[in-house]
Amino acid sequence: MLHHEFQAARHAEFLSRAARHRLVREAKRAKRAAKAERAAKAARTDADSRKQYRRAA
């Protein structure tokens, strides 16, 4: 294998590893966002359900 072919192969490996790392980071970020959205929705639902049981003063 010629030196430039070896360099090109290493560079391609580096780029694929970087892309894979970026995909994992984006997936983790999306998972956190979905979890936060579920928590916010649950908090709103809990607040709404508590309103029903509040006594009228």
The per-residue pLDDT for range 1-57, each reduced to its tens digit, is 699 999 999 999 999 999 999 999 999 999 999 999 999 888 887 766 666 555 555
pLDDT of residue 57: 55
Contacting residues for 1 by C-beta, under 8 A, at least 6 apart: 9
Q: Is the dihedral of CA 42, 48, 51, 53 positive or negative?
A: negative
Q: What's the pLDDT score for residue 48?
A: 64
**Which amino acid is present at 50?**
R
Q: What is the pLDDT of residue 28?
A: 98
